[in-house]
Chain A
Amino acid sequence: MIYRETGQFRTSYAEDQAIFRLRQDRAGIAVILAVAWIGIPLLADDYLLRAILVPFLILAVAAIGLNLLLGYCGQISLGTGAFMAIGAYAAYNLALRLPGLPLLLDFFLAGLVAAGIGVLFGLPSVRIKGLYLAVATLAAQFFADWAFLRVGWFTNYTPSGSVTAPPLDIFGWLIDTPLEKYWLCLAFACLTAILAKNLVRSRIGRSWMAIRDMDIAAEIIGIRPTTAKLSAFAVSSFVAGGAGVLWAFVHLGSWEPLAFSIDMSFRLLFMVIIGGMGSILGSFLGAAFITVLPIFLNQAPAMVGIQLSTAMVSHLEFMIFGALIVLFLIWEPHGLARLWQIGKEKMRLWPFPY
C-alpha cells in the first residue's frame, strides 16, 4: 500500500539508472544511513560498538570482496583469509618501513599488494575452474599462513611472531575510541558498498556475470575470460586486503597469522552463502548473521532459563552453521538477500495480493 511505485515516472536516463529508483527505497536507505551514522553512536555502548559492530562492518567489507569473486564472477575462493592477511601484513610493513606514509595511502597500497598477489593465485583460473580452483586458492591460504609464520622479514623479526599495529593516525586525527573506530569502519563499509554496487552494474561487472552464467557464451559475445576473471580476482583481493588491514589495525590491534587462518576463509564463505551470492546487501546480511549468531547462542538459552554448557554452545554453533548452509543451499541459494527481495515484492501487493 505504502510501498508501491505507482505514480513515480522516470523521465530521464539518469533517473532510470539510479541505484534506488523508488522514492520509498531512497527514504529507507536514508533512514538506515542516518541510524548508522548518527543513531547508533548516540545509543550504543562501547561493547556493542567494539565487539559487534566493528567486526561486523569489517567482515561485511571482506564478504563483499569474496562476493564479487564468488557471487558475481562464479570463481570459488577458499583463500579469502590469505588475502586479508596479505593486506594486513603489507600495511604493517609499509607503515614500519616508510614511516612518513599517511595511513590512508598505506591502506590503499596494502590493498594493491593484496590485489597483485590475488591475481597471481588467480592465474590458474584461466585454465581450471570450479573445484580445482578451490584447491588453487587453498594453496594460497596455506602458503600465506606459512610465509607470515616463517619468513621473519614480514614480521620484522619479532621473536614471538606476533605483530602490533601502529596507532591509527589519519591526518592528525588519532582514532582510538570505539566510536571513532566504528565511524572509520562504517566509512569504509559505505565506500566499499557504493563502489562495489556501481562496479557490478558497469561493463566489467556485467562481463563477470556473463562468465559466471556461461563462460563459453560469454566468450562468444566477445568477453575475454582472462581479463574478466583476473580483474575479478584483483578487485576481490583488493577489497579483502583492505578488510584485512581494518581487521588487524582497527579490530585486533596486535595479531598473528592464525587470525587469518582457513577458519576465517570458511566464515566468509558462509557469510556469502547465507547472505546471498551475487548481492551487496547480502554481504551485509550474511556478515551480520554470522557475527551475531554465536553471541545469540551464548545468551538466548539463558534468557529462557535453560543453562547450556559452553562446550554445548560451541558445538551447537558448528551444527547450526552447517545445517543453515545446507538449508539455504537447498531452499534459497540466493540467501537472505533474496528473502528480503521476496518480502519487498509481497509488500508491493499488500494488502491485496492476487
Chain B
Amino acid sequence: MAELGPVLEVLLGGLMSGVLYSLVALGFVLIFKASGVFNFAQGAMVLFAALSLVRLAEWLPFPLALLVTVLIMIAVAWTVERLVLRPLVGQHGLILFMATIGVTFFLDGFGQTIWGSNVYQLDLGIPSTPWFLFESLFPGGILVSPVDVFATVIAGSLVLALSIFFHGTRIGRALRAVADDHQAAQSVGIPLNQIWLIVWSTAGIVALVAGMAWGSKLGVQFSLSLVALKALPVLILGGLTSIPGAIVGGLVVGAGEKLAELYIGPLIGGGIEYWFAYVLALAVLLVRPQGLFGEKIIERV
C-alpha cells in the first residue's frame, strides 16, 4: 500500500491539472464545432479575460468586475467575428487558422498595453493549504489541492451548463444545426452570423472561467496565453469536435504527463512533460486521425 499512495497522488494531481487543460480546450471545441475555425487565439483570450478581471477588480466590487469582464469578452468576440472572420468567410481552414494567430499576437500586445505586464494576484478566497485524504490507508495520506478541486467543480458545472444549453434551448439546437451543416442550417432560416457571435461569446466566457482557474493557480500574467499550446494536443487527442473528448483528452494528457515525468522522466533526463502531450497526440493521430471522440469526417488524401 505504501507504494501505491504516491502513484495515486500523482494520478489525482495529474487528472486535476488535466481539468485545467480541458477548460481551455473546451473553448477551442466550441468554436471549431460551430464555425470550423481552429481558434489559436483562445489562449490569448484566456489571458485577456483574466487580466481584465483582475485589473477591474482593483477598483470595482468583484461581482461587478466579473460582469464587466463578461461584457468585454462579448465585445472582443463581436469584434473578432466582424473584423476578422466575416471577411474571411469561405476561406481555407489554414488561412483562418493563421488569421487567429494574428489575433493572438494582437490581443497579447493589446492586453499588456491597457492592463500592464506585471503579475497580478487573483484571490478567489479558496484555501491554498492542501487537504490530506485517506491518511489511515497511506502513510502521509493523499494530497489534494483545494484550488484543483475548485477548478474541477467549475469545469464540471460548465460542461453541464453547456450541454443543457446545447440540448435544451432553441439557440442550442440552432448551434448544433450550424455545426452539422452550415448551408442546410442557413436554408432553414438560422442566422449564421448571429449564431457565430453567440458561439464566440460563449468561447469568450469559457476563456474567462479558464482564466480564473489558471489565474488563481499561477497568478495572472503573460504566460497564461501559453496554455493554448498545452491545449492543442488535448484537442487532437480528444477529437476536434467533441466536448466530452476535450474533457477526456485533458484528463489523459494531465495524468499521463505527470506520471511520465515522475516515472519515465528520470531515465531520460527529465523535463519530458514539455513534449509528452505532443508526442502522445502525434501517436494518436497516426492511429486514429479523428482523435478519441471526434467524428470520422477527416480530410484525407
Contacts and interface: CB of A to CB of B under 8 A. Distances in A.
A, B in one complex = yes
Contacts of A318: 105-106, 108-110, 112
B92 to A, nearest CB: 8
Contacts of B195: none
Interface residues of B, number: 48
Contacts of B298: 128, 132
Interface residues of A, number: 48
Contacts of A129: 299-301
Interface in A270-327: 273, 311-312, 315-326
Interface string A158-189: 00000000000000000000000000000000
B98 interface: yes
Given A131-B38, A139-B281, A225-B301, A321 B275 contact: no
B236 A135 contact: yes
A139 B270 contact: no
A127 B300 CA distance: 6
A293 to B, nearest CB: 12
Q: Which of B107, B113, B270 has the most CB of A within 10 A?
A: B113
Nearest to A211: B301
B282 A322 contact: no
Given A135-B285, A322-B105, A219 B301 contact: yes
Contacts of A130: 93-94, 97, 299
B108 to A, nearest CB: 5
Given A136-B285, A146-B271, A269 B101 contact: yes
Contact of B278 (A126, A139, A324): A139
A180 B164 CA distance: 68
Interface string A139-154: 1001101100111100
A78 B280 CA distance: 18
B236 A329 contact: no
Given A127-B286, A219-B301, A311-B117, A326 B106 contact: yes
A312 B93 CA distance: 33
A153 B98 CA distance: 36
A230 interface: no
B278 A135 contact: yes
Contacts of A151: 269
Contact of A143 (B110, B278, B289): B278
Nearest to A75: B94
A222 B191 CA distance: 43
Interface string B170-200: 0000000000000000000000000000000
Contact of B275 (A128, A142, A269): A142
B279 interface: yes
Q: Which of A127, A131, A319, A320 has the most CB of B within 10 A?
A: A131
Interface string A206-225: 00000000011001000001
Lowest 9 A-B CB distances belong to which pairs? A318-B109, A322-B106, A325-B102, A322-B105, A139-B278, A319-B109, A142-B275, A150-B269, A326-B102
